[in-house]
Amino acid sequence: MSILVFAENWDGKFKKSTYEAISYGTEIAKQTNSTVTALVIGNVSDDDMKSLGKYGAQKVLSIKNDKLKSMNPSAYASAIQQAAQKESAKVVILSYTYSGRSVAGRVAIKLKAGLIAGASALPSSTSPFTVRKKCFSGKGLTDVVVSSDIKVIGLTPNSYQVNTKEGAASVENYAPTFTDSDFNSTSKETKKTSGKIALTEAEIVVSAGRGLKGPENWGMVEQLAELLGAATACSKPVADVGWRPHHEHVGQTGITIGPNLYIAIGISGAIQHLAGVSSSKVIVVINSDKEAPFFKAATYGICGDAFQVVPKLIEEVKKLKSAH
């Protein structure tokens, strides 16, 4: 028996969430006495594929097929299903990223498997197979019991640590077969988001909301983010009115993130916003209203005017950086 991990890459480079998924799969493999095979679709170098051994993969199945150059959920799901069957995989793991979400349900249907969508922890038991995930917009936790023979797990990014060890994976070329229906839809164009650091990968996120009054005031947010090596994010209304691009919107209807540090500037902390950021390890809230609900979720709170506090923070970060 093996565990199959879909090792997502962007332009030939693995994402941090891929290493998390393989580390996670490796721990389940220990619990179930099985091995880990990673499935790579796209032009990733042999060295990078072998390096997945450092995270616990014994073997990599490499699919290089021009028809799969851009993300196609149906065809990717078919490739993952065929790889899972070839490896007799009983557990299939995907990072629950945008791509992973578009594929995980299809894979589960094809394999007649139960799906744990957005797992946030290792299985607490493998018999019955029980995995914890968040529910009610992050307000609650639920233990999902899957009784099907095969299990598909969508692992929430940033919810499991990356573990490394010595080792290199063997690489095997793999060419699954596709039918016309696997290509019922195709992507015409893929555009990279403008931010320098991908929001879902970021260790630090600087985010702002309606308290900033207008798009012309985002300069200080971007400057603080750049100094900290952070990605920028925003609340929903800010994206809705076009102050910021939609791909920065975090929350229940936006992206879910779990960085080490989340700095929220001029955001009230509505439950729908918290749903997307409550997994952050440390939350710093800057808000002029001491009654703002976000302070209840904050690790550190600064009650003050963002237009005074943020420039001071920027100065302090600059001083700290120049001292080192």
Q: How far apart are CA 263 and CA 320, in angstroms?
A: 18
Task: Indicate which single residue of 178, 183, 295, 307 sits in contact with ligand FAD (rule: CB under 6 A).
Answer: 307
138 makes contact with ligand FAD (CB under 6 A): no
25 makes contact with ligand FAD (CB under 6 A): no
Segment contacting ligand FAD (CB under 6 A): 15-23, 26-34, 93-101, 247-255? 247-255
Residues in the chain: 324
Q: State the number of binding residues for ligand FAD (CB under 6 A).
A: 26
280 makes contact with ligand FAD (CB under 6 A): no
200 makes contact with ligand FAD (CB under 6 A): no
Alpha-carbon distances, residue 260 vs 202, 257, 282 (angstroms) = 8, 10, 6
**Is the Cβ–Cβ distance between 106 and 74 less than 8 Å?**
yes
Task: Indicate which single residue of 105, 252, 284, 295 sits in contact with ligand FAD (rule: CB under 6 A).
Answer: 252
Between 74 and 235, whose beta carbon lies closer to ligand FAD? 235
Segment contacting ligand FAD (CB under 6 A): 1-9, 90-98, 175-183, 302-310? 302-310
Between 26 and 207, whose beta carbon lies closer to ligand FAD? 207
The residue among 190, 187, 188, 185 whose CA lies nearest residue 74 is 185
Could you say which residues in the range 205-224 bind ligand FAD, by CB under 6 A? 209-211
The residue among 63, 73, 142, 62 whose CA lies nearest residue 105 is 73
Q: Which two tokens stand for residue 177?
A: 């077969």
Crossing angle (nearest 10°) for helices 73-86 and 98-110: 50
Could you say which residues in the range 98-137 bind ligand FAD, by CB under 6 A? none
CA count, 13 A, side-chain hemisphere, 32: 24
Residue 96 C-beta: closest distance to ligand FAD, Å:
16
16 makes contact with ligand FAD (CB under 6 A): no
272 makes contact with ligand FAD (CB under 6 A): yes
138 Cβ contact partners less than 8 Å away, ≥ 6 residues apart? 256, 274, 275, 276, 278, 279
Residue 127 C-beta: closest distance to ligand FAD, Å:
37
Between 56 and 254, whose beta carbon lies closer to ligand FAD? 254
Residue 241 C-beta: closest distance to ligand FAD, Å:
10
53 makes contact with ligand FAD (CB under 6 A): no
**Is the Cβ–Cβ distance between 150 and 96 less than 8 Å?**
no
Q: Which two tokens stand for residue 257?
A: 């993130």
Task: Indicate which single residue of 235, 256, 278, 279 sits in contact with ligand FAD (rule: CB under 6 A).
Answer: 235
> CA torsion angle for 246, 250, 252, 253 (degrees, to 10)?
10
Q: Is 47 helix (H, G, I), strand (E, B) or coil?
A: helix
301 makes contact with ligand FAD (CB under 6 A): no
* Residues found near ligand FAD in the complex (CB under 6 A): 209-211, 235-238, 251-254, 266-268, 270, 272-273, 276, 286-289, 292, 305-307
